[in-house]
Chain A
């Protein structure tokens, strides 16, 4: 009847997609268990009253979710394909490197300019060989960072971390 929603799930083999939804269910169940365990073992008890309440409910819900996933009943959301993984991983790694290392050691502005340029260039559909598109990338980066500088540093006087560069 409603063919718009069904083709994706019917294409994949049933077992594989069930497994795909079981993994997050297990992870959530694990997290809920850790939270519950911490809530019931940490002191002082009076400060953990509310966490105990919440974590108990969370654990029950996580169990319910787990059994639904195990029964193959919880296929909401689109899931992830291998192609998607391959596309997003380099980007996520780049962002993580920027946020956890570069921002502090290189300085906020140098690192931001760098990550903006790399992320943009890396995912830009335009040719990586033509000098013209490289010029465009550099110009866009400089203009955008100029706007950010005007807004945050000049107008709002935010003091950004200074690494070995600005």
Chain B
């Protein structure tokens, strides 16, 4: 009894002074970064690059360690992050937009945009439409033309349900009025790309970075980009808008880091100030460029705005499709 009294007194005293001290000393041990996809996937790969200088004194001064919690298009990892991760600043998570917002709208998960506090954004990877190198279709118009004449016959592979690829496919179907069969694969973008190259499906939606590489290797043709502007990596490929289909950038895969709701505001502030600088590090930029991964650095305020905007457009899109 006595012990408990003393303990609670100590705790109370600690909690009064804790916040500023915690923020000043934070971080004093390695910080984990949870990635909702498997090792070797695009998100994992980029997360490993952008966190490689975290140990430098001018950034966190402590290394960041990647933990992979793959499963069900990211639901497993984000569920864990929303419901079980400690909000002490030592557990951070990687987010993928529009994936987790679309999944929270569709339901059956323990998170929504309200469950997380963004820190900063590091990259943006638009979705593209690809066909195999020996496919008869050379432009997006030809593919859509075939799909319009043969409703439901065009098979379109993508990384899963309610991820960026699926959103892009839904938008394409809506804009063209052509019915297509979206085939979600297990095993992410790489498996979806394999299905296109091997001819298991007629076409596919995939990440720009992966498609760019596959085209360099002579395996695919890229027909269109689902973004507002053409990509620097693919200046010759038109956007879907240019081709006359009303598809915006809702499916662009934004990647960044976040912490669980309830994390000390002082820690969030500290992270929001240092993490974008860490992403801007010259070595990080060089490695990302070499790997063909487009960077797009955004601060916490910009990300908050982007999340809110995505939430709104996805609500409309998914409500219209259900």
Distance in angstroms between the alpha carbons of A157 and B65 in the assembled complex: 7
Distance in angstroms between the alpha carbons of A62 and B32 in the assembled complex: 44
Cβ-based interface call for B283 (8 A)? no
Interface residues of B in 43-100 (CB under 8 A from A): 63, 65, 90-91
Q: Which residue of B lies closest to A159 (CB)?
A: B32
Q: Is the interface of A mostly helix, strand, loop or mixed?
A: loop
B32 CB contacts on chain A under 8 angstroms: 159
A159–B90 contact, CB under 8 A?
yes
Distance in angstroms between the alpha carbons of A159 and B32 in the assembled complex: 8
Q: Encode contact with B along A127-166: 1 for CB under 8 Å, 0 otherwise.
A: 0000000000000000000000000000001110000000
Cβ-based interface call for B186 (8 A)? no
Interface residues of A in 107-142 (CB under 8 A from B): none
A159 CB contacts on chain B under 8 angstroms: 29-30, 32, 65, 90-91
Distance in angstroms between the alpha carbons of A158 and B91 in the assembled complex: 12
Q: Encode contact with A along B192-208: 1 for CB under 8 Å, 0 otherwise.
A: 00000000000000000
CB distance from B68 to the nearest CB of A (A): 13
B29 CB contacts on chain A under 8 angstroms: 159
A157–B90 contact, CB under 8 A?
no
Interface residues of B in 27-51 (CB under 8 A from A): 29-30, 32
Distance in angstroms between the alpha carbons of A158 and B30 in the assembled complex: 9
Q: Which residue of A lies closest to B63 (CB)?
A: A157
Q: Which residue of B lies closest to A164 (CB)?
A: B7
Distance in angstroms between the alpha carbons of A159 and B29 in the assembled complex: 9
Distance in angstroms between the alpha carbons of A159 and B33 in the assembled complex: 11
Distance in angstroms between the alpha carbons of A159 and B91 in the assembled complex: 10
CB distance from A161 to the nearest CB of B (A): 9
Q: Which residue of A lies closest to B65 (CB)?
A: A157
CB distance from A114 to the nearest CB of B (A): 20
B63 CB contacts on chain A under 8 angstroms: 157
Q: Encode contact with A along B4-35: 1 for CB under 8 Å, 0 otherwise.
A: 00000000000000000000000001101000
CB distance from A157 to the nearest CB of B (A): 5
Distance in angstroms between the alpha carbons of A31 and B150 in the assembled complex: 47
B91 CB contacts on chain A under 8 angstroms: 159
Distance in angstroms between the alpha carbons of A139 and B30 in the assembled complex: 29
Distance in angstroms between the alpha carbons of A157 and B33 in the assembled complex: 12
Distance in angstroms between the alpha carbons of A159 and B30 in the assembled complex: 8
Distance in angstroms between the alpha carbons of A157 and B32 in the assembled complex: 9
CB distance from B66 to the nearest CB of A (A): 10
Distance in angstroms between the alpha carbons of A158 and B65 in the assembled complex: 8
Distance in angstroms between the alpha carbons of A159 and B90 in the assembled complex: 9
Distance in angstroms between the alpha carbons of A13 and B106 in the assembled complex: 60
Distance in angstroms between the alpha carbons of A20 and B91 in the assembled complex: 49
A158 CB contacts on chain B under 8 angstroms: 65
Q: Which residue of A lies closest to B88 (CB)?
A: A162
CB distance from B7 to the nearest CB of A (A): 9
Distance in angstroms between the alpha carbons of A158 and B32 in the assembled complex: 9
Interface residues of B in 85-119 (CB under 8 A from A): 90-91
Q: Which residue of A lies closest to B31 (CB)?
A: A159
A157 CB contacts on chain B under 8 angstroms: 30, 63, 65
Q: 8 more A-B contacts (CB under 8 A) besides A157-B65, A158-B65?
A: A157-B30, A157-B63, A159-B29, A159-B30, A159-B32, A159-B65, A159-B90, A159-B91
Q: B residues near A, CB below 8 A?
A: 29-30, 32, 63, 65, 90-91
10 CB contacts below 8 A, A to B, read: A157-B30, A157-B63, A157-B65, A158-B65, A159-B29, A159-B30, A159-B32, A159-B65, A159-B90, A159-B91
Closest 7 pairs (CB-CB, A-B): A157-B65, A157-B30, A159-B32, A159-B30, A157-B63, A159-B90, A159-B65
